Structure 1
Amino acid sequence: MATERGPRVTKRRGETRQRLLEAALVVFAEEGFGRSTVEQVCSRAGYSRGAFYSNFSTLDELFLAMWEQRSADHVARMREAFEASEQESAPDLQGVVEHLLRAVPLDEEWYRVSAEFTAHALRSPDLRRVIADRERAIAASTLPFLLKALAGIGRVVPDPEALSQALVAVHDGTALQCLSEPGDAVVRRRRTDLFTRVVIAYSNESGEES
């Protein structure tokens, strides 16, 4: 009987944790991370404070768990996008960039939440280190898909870390522009063009001098 009860408790705990994560995203997006409280998250999820503290010690910890989950989803999207790219009969640079953008869609709700948490984290040396470490881990997990796709069209990247940082900077900057003017097709087109130019700038055709 004890062994049968264990998995059910584990499953229930997982469901509670997931509902708290989903509720927190809504609360953070609506209220702002700095103004959100444990009580608001629990109320949205339909749980007591006890349920929260049996899963997370702070809202910071909850956000980082949310980020970890979204990072895993991001890696999965990158894999799917570039597996689709490999199936194309004659992929080119534009196709590679289009698949890359498909893997990093614009999400206003997440942008608002993550931007506010980043500002909060910059006030804490410990959180700064956590963010830097997690950004490096995400890059290490996703960049190989892009490098393989570029190799498939005859391009090599001398400094993958530099390319990764440049792409993150372009994504963050153009995301704000696109979300500020959601109906402007020109802004979206320029986002794609800028991604393409960055990939060209940080890669060479096979056989070129670096």
Structure 2
Amino acid sequence: MTAAKRVTVRRAETRRRLLDAALDVFAAEGFGRTTVEQVCDHAGFTRGAFYSNFSSLDELFLAMWEERSAAMLDDVRTALGGVAEADPDAALRAAFHAIPVDDAWFRVTAEFTAHALRTPALRRVMAAREQAILDAVLPAVVAALARGGRRVPDETALGQALVAVHDGTSAQILLDPGDPAVRARREHLFFVVLNAYSTPSSPDRESEELP
């Protein structure tokens, strides 16, 4: 291995450890109370290692969010593409279950969102990234609905409604994690929203509804 490649590998490993450490510290301490020193201590690095990878905790969080969003999108696309064309409802259900509800991540994102709402430039970055996620996943959802004989008149409205379902029901699940009825209602609401924001492609399908 060349010296340059060793540096690249070491830098990637440092970045990985900083990201992992930050999630632990953010979840335990709260984003607003976390310092660069705490993240460095948890990762076993100095401030120099931190600032050679990130300019701020905001940048670190955004990198973490981008990474987790990319993984989630891959899982959703795989779920939507892994079910037979003849069973679009199963594909949509699989995609729904591919979106994780994670206690630590929910706490961190909720706190960072509040932080971003107080920072106009950061708020615009968050809004743009949320839209990028919807732009990436909605075409696959719309295609699955189309295979089931339904069309989506307003994809933006559907996307916003699905985000609202995810965020609101995630909080309910995390507040009462042992109740399977909460998860069942979450899945039911997901399909209610899909049905409400789509219409039959042809008149003879008017009476059909998603489960």
Q: TM-score, normalised to structure 2's length? A: 0.92
Alignment-mate amino acid for residue 91 of structure 1? D
Match of 1:117 in 2: 112
Find the partner of 1:146 among 141, 149, 153: 141
1:155–1:203 CA contact under 8 A, matched in 2: yes
Match of 1:13 in 2: 11
Match of 2:209 in 1: none
Structure 1 residue 172: Cα displacement: 0.3
Match of 1:188 in 2: 183
Structure 1 residue 57: Cα displacement: 0.8
Q: Percent identity of the aligned residues?
A: 58
Structure 1 residue 92: Cα displacement: 4.7
Higher RCO (Cα < 8 Å, 6 or more apart): 1
1:19–1:45 CA contact under 8 A, matched in 2: yes
Q: TM-score, normalised to structure 1's length? A: 0.93
CA distance in 2, matches of 1:48, 1:198: 48
The aligned runs of 1:59-208 (5 Å cut-off) are: 59-86=57-84, 90-93=86-89, 95-208=90-203
Structure 1 residue 86: Cα displacement: 3.2
CA-to-aligned-CA distance 1:96-143 (integer Å, 9 cap, x gap): 442122121211110000000000110000011000000011111111
Match of 1:45 in 2: 43
Find the partner of 1:36 among 27, 34, 37: 34
Alignment-mate amino acid for residue 176 of structure 1? A
1:23–1:44 CA contact under 8 A, matched in 2: yes
Structure 1 segments unaligned to the other structure (5+ residues): none
Q: How many residues in Structure 1 have an aligned counterpart in Structure 2? A: 204
Alignment-mate amino acid for residue 200 of structure 2? E
CA distance in 1, matches of 2:110, 2:95: 22
Q: Residue 161 of structure 1: SS of its match in structure 2?
A: helix
Moved over 2 A (4+): none
CA distance in 1, matches of 2:37, 2:25: 10
1:97–1:192 CA contact under 8 A, matched in 2: no
CA-to-aligned-CA distance 1:20-39 (integer Å, 9 cap, x gap): 00100010001100111111
Q: Residue 85 of structure 1: SS of its match in structure 2?
A: coil
